[in-house]
Amino acid sequence: MAQKNPSAPKITPELKSRATKIVSILEKTYPRAKIVLWYKNNFELLVSVILSAQCTDKQVNKVTEKLFKKYHTVKDYATANQKEFEQDIRSTGFYRNKTKNVIGAAKMIIEKFGGKVPNTMEELLQLPGVARKTANIVLGNAFGIVEGIAVDTHMRRVNFRLGLTKQTTPEKIEQDLMALLPKEKWFNYTYYVIEHGRAICDAKKPLCKECQFNKLCPKNGVDPKFYK
């Protein structure tokens, strides 16, 4: 369970109202928003999310289309040749660390969790390469378990711009959002925001004039680095 964040925003009626309006607009605008990574089982989901760090989902899907045909079981990953695997995933970036994490996670799953991806936050966080974002995505999509909110770069950027957080680290942003949003909204909220980040609230060139939130977004005073 996430620890209480002493820097969490004060939950005022105004901020609560802002969050409620934002969620409502996102739900209506992106009703079909969901994870876009391709996978056929829980371990493939885990692999995909690990590979998605600092990489687009589109590129990850391009890589895993071949990867999942080459490696079929958790044991296949656990016994994979490191150098060969590095080349298999090279285009996702940071491929050496990702290789160590995927192979290491596979070994731990076999040795400690009976060959199955664990279904608790505490256990998932023991796996190499797994922080809360990855754990939240796996828990929600694989097991229907919601313990938090997955925070990626889109979530960081969009929620800061919309004034729902002033934090810059994923853990603290997650805590702020968990304090603002009802739990039943946590899982879908990530995917609504990701869609909005891709379609409108771009990192370099946000389409503010076309944005559904142009009357809600406190653009004045936002740290310029969030527009770069």
| Tens-place pLDDT, residues 40-96 | 999 999 999 999 999 999 999 999 999 999 999 999 999 999 999 999 999 999 999
As a whole number, mean pLDDT of residues 170-198 equals 96
Q: In the chain, which residues fall in CATH 1.10.340.30? A: 42-143
Say which CATH architecture domain 42-143 belongs to: Orthogonal Bundle (1.10)
Q: Quick check: 119 and 139 in contact, CB under 8 A?
A: yes
Say whether pLDDT at 8 is over 90. no
Q: In the chain, which residues fall in CATH 1.10.1670.10? A: 13-33+149-227
Catalytic residue check, 223: no
Three-state SS string over the chain comes to CCCCCCCCCCCCHHHHHHHHHHHHHHHHHCCCCCCCCCCCCHHHHHHHHHHCCCCCHHHHHHHHHHHHHHCCCHHHHHCCCHHHHHHHHHHHCCHHHHHHHHHHHHHHHHHHCCCCCCCCHHHHCCCCCCCHHHHHHHHHHHHCCCCCCCCCHHHHHHHHHCCCCCCCCHHHHHHHHHHHCCHHHHHHHHHHHHHHHHHCCCCCCCCHHHCCCCCCCCCCCCCHHHHC
Q: Quick check: 25 and 200 in contact, CB under 8 A?
A: no
Q: How many residues would you count in the chain?
A: 228
Say whether pLDDT at 102 is over 80. yes
Ligand-binding site membership of 201 (annotated)? yes
pLDDT tens readout for residues 181-192: 999 999 999 999
As a whole number, mean pLDDT of residues 16-37 equals 95
Ligand-binding site membership of 55 (annotated)? no
Say whether pLDDT at 227 is over 50. no
Whole-angstrom distance, CA of residue 83 vs CA of residue 155? 34
What is 13-33+149-227's CATH number, 1.10.1670.10, 3.90.1200.10, 1.10.10.10, 3.90.1150.10? 1.10.1670.10
Biggest alpha carbon distance in the chain? 56
List Cα–Cα distances, 135 to 21, 22, 127, 156, 181, in angstroms: 28, 25, 10, 17, 19
Whole-angstrom distance, CA of residue 193 vs CA of residue 152? 10
Catalytic residue check, 133: yes
Q: How many Cβ atoms sit within 10 Å of the Cβ of residue 99?
A: 25
Say whether pLDDT at 3 is over 60. no
Catalytic residue among 57, 88, 98, 133: 133
As a whole number, mean pLDDT of residues 158-165 equals 93
Q: Quick check: 164 and 176 in contact, CB under 8 A?
A: yes
